[in-house]
Amino acid sequence: MTFLALAALLVIVAIFLINLLLTKQAYEIIFEKMSLPLPPFLIRLLQFNLIFPLVILSIIVIFLML
């Protein structure tokens, strides 16, 4: 069970890093280079994408510590 939780931890870290790259791409390339204004729903989605894995990450860490 601990092994599965550790695997989940790795996966969620990978998802977080990919989302970080995606957000960087959205802001740098689409917003700054292409000068396309990002609509509010995409900004919210990008923010949610960064927060959601962090919440899961903290839950998994708390579970592992217990």
Partner 1 sequence: MENVYDVPLFIDKTCLLTSPHEKILLVKRQHWTVAALPLLSLFGGSIFAAGMVYVILVSFFGQLILFFMGTSIIFALFFSIATNKLLHWYSHIYVVTTHKASEISCTFRGQKTLQEISLENTLCSEIESSSEGLINSIFQTGDVTISIDTAESEEEIHFRSLSSPHQTSDMLARHFNLIPSDSEKNHIWYSASEDSLRRFLHQQLWNISGGML
Tokens, residue 64: 């592992």
* CB-based burial, 10-21: b 16+ in 10 Å, e otherwise: eebeeebeebee
Cα separation, 64 vs 66, whole angstroms: 5
Q: In the complex, what is the shortest distance from the CB of residue 65 to partner 1, in angstroms, rounded to a whole number?
A: 13
In the complex, which residues of this chain contact partner 1 (CB under 8 A)?
Answer: 1, 4-5, 8, 11-12, 15, 18-19, 21-22, 25-26, 29-30, 33-39, 42, 45-46, 48-49, 52-53, 56, 59-60, 63
Q: In the complex, what is the shortest distance from the CB of residue 60 to partner 1, in angstroms, rounded to a whole number?
A: 6
